Structure 1
Amino acid sequence: MKIDRRVLLGGMLAAGALGTRAAAVRAAEPGVSDVVLPRLAGHHRVIIDTDPGNDDAIAILMALSAPSLSVEAITVAPGNIRYDQEVRNALFVVELAGQAGRIPVHRGMTHPIMDRPYATATFIHGRDGLGDFEVPPVKQQPDPEHAVEAIRRIVRQHPGEVVILALGSLSNVAMALLLDPAIAPMLKGIQFVAGAGNAVPPFNAMADPEAADIVFRSGAPITFGLGGPTDSILTREDFAHIATFDTPRSRFFMRSNQKRLDFEMSARNAPGSVNGDPLATAMLIDPAVGIAFKAIHARVELEGQWTRGDILYGENRYNMQPTLPPNANLCVKADNERFKRILFDTLRRS
């Protein structure tokens, strides 16, 4: 899908205006809250927008196994690895979850909206995205409807009910908002995984900064996290515990995530693997996983040799500039033990 730069700039301006009108509504949510945000509570219709590497795959498996979530579609965004392989991985995980033929997988934007190059992350996901796991052929084929059109259709069919679980770059989501800004207030929420807390800029925002900027200025209700290691950590002991389940799902987890565990512990000095995507999914399944949230005004850096794609927030009293109204809720604390219980329950199933 191509878009003219004039359309892009016009859409960005419209998204910004819509965000200003919606800010007063979101500002009513507490600045720092230890209660569940209203948009996270209850049953959700979910669109999973994803770039299936190993953590995305586990998050998808969790969502497809949760009685409280109705997954309407999986849309594939550019991100972790080669795009065609991401699509194959998404189709495989649907089959692994026992949902083949029931959950549509939509191809979407194959590149960032400005078509700029971006880095992939095979060093943590493996060549094909799922660690040492080799994806077998699957019967299900991608749905012919483009991901952007699927997002617009589903949100319009179910106003106030749909949460977009955004596990990768925001290219598809941003394009849907550019083409149809009116869907922003129709969304129940966007649950965005920006990236690992120890990666600057966070990967999913860096992959398509213009898309992230459009989404944060759209007026859509956004909750996001930076994948803090203490909140989503799985230690070597947790991996050993998962291995004892000896189910197809647990065996898939072990083969696809060992590379992530080794990289996080050796290169980032983390106490285990960091799992932002599964944590965000667990928060939709059980809102009590999110312990504290902060209402912030988030902006995306679009320039800078080293900071392009970084997400900036905070008050500005030192430079005498007013702090803008909140446009997002940042999860600042989550329950690691509750998260792990949901993950373990998913992987125990045969």
Structure 2
Amino acid sequence: MTSRRAVVVDTDTGIDDALTLVYLAAVGGVDLVAITATHGNCSTADSAINVGHVLGLCGVEGVPIHLGRPGPISGKEPRYSHHVHGYDGLGDLGIERLESTHAEESAADALVRIGQERPGEVDLLVLGAMTNLADAIAIDPLVLTRYRSIVVMGGSGPYQPAGTILEVDANVDADPQAAAVVYAAERSEIVMVGVNVTTPAILDEKFMAALDAQPGPVTSFCSAILGYYLDFYQEKWGRRICSAHDPLAAGILLHPEWATRTADGPVNVRDDGYAVRARLMRTAELELPAFPLVDAPDTKVVLDVDQAAFLAEFTDVLANADARLGLG
């Protein structure tokens, strides 16, 4: 990262979102302009509370927290990932979450205002259901053109090779209509960091050991909440390891060079009757699909990542978070 970045984070603050906020607070060179809370891993209300807890734990003050609507723009009941993140979003550990307040201004209004006040200066990192962005677009159809870049952890990349499957595209599935609005909107640049690249970004046993080797308020919190996450992931791979979905998106926002291969093209939101995904309308060979697509502005879709560079920095920042934040 060669210069400071002003960043707005839109998040459904579950476990990997919380790790991402710690990373952004501790990595250096990041000015958190605002956090907008959405639903997905947990409720919008719990997401906002969790943001306040993480920022307070990290000693970060003065970052406004804005609440979005409690569910999808369709008006349907939200579906939460309690089985992955716990009912409170932080692993149901009984943590007495630090007190925080949220701004009266809504998430959508804040996204519009910040873009208008600081055009071309602020990056937007999207880590949950895209409800707040869709609401902001309804207010100002050009809102996404006012951000320097938008990095979205939400999507599945192009169609995968025949006979293979992908992790669930949870952030799109949480509000498919909102995702369709976002990927069809005018923008400066949207970078999709989808489950095609985040699932292989594995935090392994060495990462867990690095956290445990330097206990402090922040690293101990990260290690504790990861326990619930690992309970879920151990049933996938038989090991207590996990994917770094949201942290990788943050890493690519700060280090665009870590996206070593990308493809530009329209993204459509597709429903296969089982789940909904946002897809680059290309096959695994980057050819056109066998059916008509919906025209949309190009999205930059990440296909390959420098996993070693990401994991090295993320491990260093998280393991040394207390010292980096001046807490130990």
Range of TM-score over shorter length: 0.7 to 0.9
Counterpart CA distance in 2 for 1:214 and 1:150 is: 18
**Which of 143, 146, 152 matches 2:112?**
152
Match of 1:186 in 2: 146
Match of 1:71 in 2: 32
Q: From the superposition, tell whether residues 54 and 318 of structure 1 become closer, same or farther in structure 2 (CA, over 3 Å).
A: closer
Name the SS for the 1:45 alignment partner.
strand
Name the SS for the 2:101 alignment partner.
coil
**Which of 219, 223, 231 matches 2:191?**
223
Q: CA deviation at 1:195?
A: 6.0
Counterpart CA distance in 1 for 2:290 and 2:307 is: 35
Match of 2:205 in 1: 236
Gaps of 5+ in 2: 158-164, 323-328
1:339 aligns with 2:303: no
Q: From the superposition, tell whether residues 41 and 322 of structure 1 become closer, same or farther in structure 2 (CA, over 3 Å).
A: farther
Per-residue CA deviations over 1:147-192 (Å, capped at 9, x if unaligned) read 1111111111111122110000000011101110122322211110
Aligned residues, how many?
308
- TM-score where L is the length of structure 2: 0.85
Amino acid at match of 1:83: T
Q: CA deviation at 1:143?
A: 1.2
- TM-score where L is the length of structure 1: 0.80
Q: CA deviation at 1:300?
A: 0.7
1:57 aligns with 2:25: no
Q: Which piece of structure 1 moves more, 132-141 or 173-182?
A: 132-141
Q: Which piece of structure 1 moves more, 169-178 or 284-293?
A: 284-293
Per-residue CA deviations over 1:297-345 (Å, capped at 9, x if unaligned) read 11012x55314344352143645x5895752111111122222232223
Alignment of 1:19-38 (within 5 A): none
Percentage identity across paired residues of the two chains: 26
Q: Comparing both chains, which one has the higher relative contact order based on Cα–Cα distances under 8 Å and sequence gaps of 6 or more?
A: 1
Match of 2:244 in 1: 275
Superposed CA RMSD: 2.5
Q: From the superposition, tell whether residues 265 and 195 of structure 1 become closer, same or farther in structure 2 (CA, over 3 Å).
A: farther
Q: Is the 8 A contact 2:134 2:181 kept in 1?
A: yes
Match of 2:225 in 1: 256
Q: Is the 8 A contact 1:298 1:312 kept in 2?
A: yes
**Which of 72, 88, 97 matches 2:49?**
88
Q: From the superposition, tell whether residues 149 and 323 of structure 1 become closer, same or farther in structure 2 (CA, over 3 Å).
A: closer
Match of 2:288 in 1: 316
Counterpart CA distance in 2 for 1:93 and 1:241 is: 20
Per-residue CA deviations over 1:46-83 (Å, capped at 9, x if unaligned) read 11000000000011111122332221000001111133
Match of 1:161 in 2: 121
Amino acid at match of 1:203: A
Q: CA deviation at 1:119?
A: 2.4
Q: CA deviation at 1:232?
A: 1.8
**Which of 160, 167, 171 matches 1:204?**
171
Match of 1:45 in 2: 6
Q: Which piece of structure 1 moves more, 131-140 or 158-167?
A: 131-140
Match of 2:160 in 1: none
Q: CA deviation at 1:196?
A: 7.8
Counterpart CA distance in 1 for 2:245 and 2:293 is: 32
Q: Which piece of structure 1 moves more, 229-238 or 214-223?
A: 229-238
Name the SS for the 1:159 alignment partner.
coil
Counterpart CA distance in 2 for 1:81 and 1:240 is: 28
Q: Is the 8 A contact 1:196 1:203 kept in 2?
A: no
1:130 aligns with 2:101: no
Per-residue CA deviations over 1:254-287 (Å, capped at 9, x if unaligned) read 1101222232231356882001101111122333
Q: From the superposition, tell whether residues 229 and 286 of structure 1 become closer, same or farther in structure 2 (CA, over 3 Å).
A: closer
Match of 1:19 in 2: none
Match of 1:4 in 2: none
Name the SS for the 2:222 alignment partner.
helix
Q: Is the 8 A contact 1:68 1:285 kept in 2?
A: no
Name the SS for the 1:252 alignment partner.
helix
Q: CA deviation at 1:212?
A: 0.4
Q: From the superposition, tell whether residues 289 and 157 of structure 1 become closer, same or farther in structure 2 (CA, over 3 Å).
A: same
Q: Is the 8 A contact 1:92 1:135 kept in 2?
A: no
